[in-house]
Amino acid sequence: MEARSVIDALAARPDSAALLDLTGPRIAVVGGFVRDVLRGATPREIDLVVEGDVLPVAEQLGGEIALHTPFLAVHVVCDSLSVELTQARREHYERPGALPTVAPATLEEDLPRRDFTVNALAVELGSGTLLAPAGALDDLEQRRLRVFHEHSFIDDPTRVMRLARYRVRLGFEVETVTAGLAEAASLDTVSGARIAAELRLALAEPDPLAALDGLQRKLPLSLDRELVSGALALRPADGDRALIVLAAVLREAPPAFLDTLELTVHERTVIDAAQRADQLAAETARTGSASELRQVLRGLPTEAIAIVGACGPHDAVRRWLAELRHVRLEIDGGDLIAAGVAEGPDLGARLERTLRRKLDGELRGGRDAELQSALGSGP
């Protein structure tokens, strides 16, 4: 395998050619970039490992720098360039599932701390030397995922989730011993926040359900491909694809588990609504008018509504997402007050009644018809 191809790949990218001009201690491009170039694929990210202080190296690139001091790392964003620089380090795990304690090390000492051998390849920027732990190049040639030692999944159980993701993305086989260790591994020692982070990474894959396949024995996941496909087919332009999949995957998860994930308020709102999707789908199917449909779906995030539609009433939900949810009155409370209606609950009730009539096609004539309806009496 030709290390020079890795340097050439960096030089060929306008966003990363500047990396070749970095000066200072030993610097190497490492991980996925090297792995993918050597296997003839297009790399997705750029990671550098520096034998020494990373900050002076990062500052040479300019741009915005984010420090991750506990892990001797910085993230740099400069124009279209996004690169992670990590100081070469050793790691020690105080207990299973804990974040590691790190200490500076050499490039050669850094590589075996990584998750899988094929992700531990590096090429020095100055000399173009390929650095590869024992067996790593053979594993890459054989398209094989292998951990470095038998405690790998105990030290960091999230590697089980990464294994599932890399297996699908790379199309690699899992080495026999590694497969056995992964099967025996438990995620119980890992914080919910870290599990959620790995779930989000899986959702970014081209086939997120495949990237999560096999994890149902370790996590309360629902991998219903038909449901996800149906929901994504209903997704409007303002719907978040990854959030739809996340909500579908977690819609049968117990609340106690969801509480551990430290989800955002919006994520939890969508998931909670998705967990009621079957009930909402049944209610939607019973609606006979647009205003009744609004009563069922109003206030729900579009991502959850797409899942409701995938559970049954496709046409009604498609119409709601594409058309009815955008219907608005041309009048507002100020118009009614100007016409003599007193402020109070009756004001909102009049507007609500008028909007229902507009949705159901009972009003003609735009603003004037709306105002006449709102000023009238009756249900």
Closest to 274 (Cα-Cα) out of 246, 314, 236, 239:
246
DSSP β-bridge partners for residue 30: 47, 122
More confident residue, 116 or 214: 116
DSSP state of 368: H
Could you tell me the pLDDT band of residue 81, with boundaries at 50, 70 and 90? Answer: confident
> What is the CA angle 263-267-271, rounded to 5?
110
pLDDT (average), residues 38-58 = 92
> What is the CA angle 141-125-122, rounded to 5?
30
What is the overall mean pLDDT for the chain?
A: 93
What is the rounded CA–CA span in Å between residue 191 and residue 284?
Answer: 38
pLDDT at res. 364: 82
pLDDT at res. 277: 97
Q: What sign results for the dihedral spanned by CA atoms 366, 372, 375, 379?
A: negative
pLDDT at res. 44: 84
> Considering the entire predicted model, what is its pTM?
0.87
**With 70 as the cut, is the pLDDT of residue 378 above it?**
no
- pLDDT tens digits along 297-351: 999 999 999 999 999 888 999 999 999 999 999 999 999 999 999 999 999 999 9
pLDDT at res. 379: 45
Residue 308's contacts (CB-CB under 8 Å, 6 or more residues apart) are 273, 277, 280, 281, 284, 297, 300, 317
- Domains with residue ranges and CATH for the chain: 4-138 (3.30.460.10), 143-216 (1.10.110.30), 222-326 (no CATH), 333-375 (no CATH)
What is the rounded CA–CA span in Å between residue 357 and residue 370?
Answer: 9
- pLDDT tens digits along 155-167: 999 999 999 999 9
